[in-house]
Homo-oligomer: A and B are copies of this chain.
Amino acid sequence: MKTYLECIPCFLRQAIECARLAGLNEEDQKRVIDRVAEQIPKFPLSSSPPEMAQEIHRIVRDVAGSKDPYRAVKEICNQKAAVVYEGLKDIIKKSDDPLYAALTYAIAGNIIDYGIKGAIDVSEELSAIIALLNETIAGQEERIFNYRAFRETLEKSTTILYLGDNAGETFFDRLLIEELLKISEGRKITFAVRGGAVINDALREDADIAGISGIVPVIDNGSDAPGTILEDCSENFVKIFNDADMIISKGQGNFESLSGAGRDIFFLFMAKCEIVTRDMDCSLKDVILFNHAPALRV
């Protein structure tokens, strides 16, 4: 996805938010803003939003003097997600279509705001999210929730690359991966994390904490962008990306950076900003399972 003019004020808004989350005082927040502002002319609209976001978060980390200022936030997300994991696994097992159920929980994991909530609140919020998801998805199957195509592609795929998004969300990714393994038994699923800390995006240690590393191979993509910018990823990652029969991509950052990629990808995310809804021709908060298949496009 290209960068729209409206993304630029939003970059600065995010920079302030992240500088605060990293515990910077007002003076240092202004230093972040000034350095981000200096970068703006260097990014043409043809670059994808995660390219600029990568630079923003490098600046935040530099000013904060920390390689991973959100580590504590990620730990909290991991702990809270861990508490609900077993209960959700049971719910999925008992559902009529466990793969479909696991898919909705994988999206719920992307939406949930752990904030200052306790375990009970997280459970309650999840129920509310799932009810909303089922309502949103209803009737949109053909347009923006391509479940049938997802299932068909899955059944005929031998190698699957699953691109993770945030820490905590990884527990929900594990729920989906466990279902994928049941359907594509004997097939190889690889879970990918970022190559370097950026916001609350999952790193290898988060995949470890969620127990994903115990069931499928985990690789990092070699990049610290909050998305998947192929030119910035390691050769090893790009080879696995190109060779995979199926790619499942979680989160808006991965969508923004890969929507122009020349291969089939299943994007799984909630549309969280007006610009993405324009690009996807959907509504805000729509739940997307989008079969991006450039070869099939006119």
Interface residues, chain A, CB within 8 Å of chain B? 5-6, 8-10, 12-13, 16, 26, 29-30, 33-34, 37-38, 40-41, 44-45
CB nearest neighbor in B for A39 = B37
Residue of B nearest to A40 (CB): B37
28 A-B pairs, CB-CB below 8 angstroms?
A5-B16, A5-B26, A5-B30, A5-B33, A6-B13, A6-B16, A8-B12, A8-B16, A8-B33, A8-B37, A9-B9, A9-B10, A9-B12, A9-B13, A9-B16, A12-B12, A26-B45, A30-B44, A30-B45, A33-B40, A34-B40, A34-B41, A37-B37, A37-B38, A37-B40, A37-B41, A38-B38, A38-B41
> For the complex, would chain A's binding face be called helix, strand, loop or mixed by DSSP majority?
helix
Instruction: Kindly state the separation between the CA atoms of A41 and B41 in the bound complex, as whole angstroms.
Output: 13
Alpha-carbon distance A40/B35, docked complex (angstroms): 9
CB distance from A33 to the nearest CB of B (A): 6
A5 CB contacts on chain B under 8 angstroms: 16, 26, 29-30, 33
Q: How far is the CB of A13 from chain B (nearest CB, A)?
A: 4
Residue of B nearest to A27 (CB): B45
**How far is B7's CA from A16's CA once the two chains are assembled, in angstroms?**
11
Residues of B within 8 A of A6 (CB): 13, 16
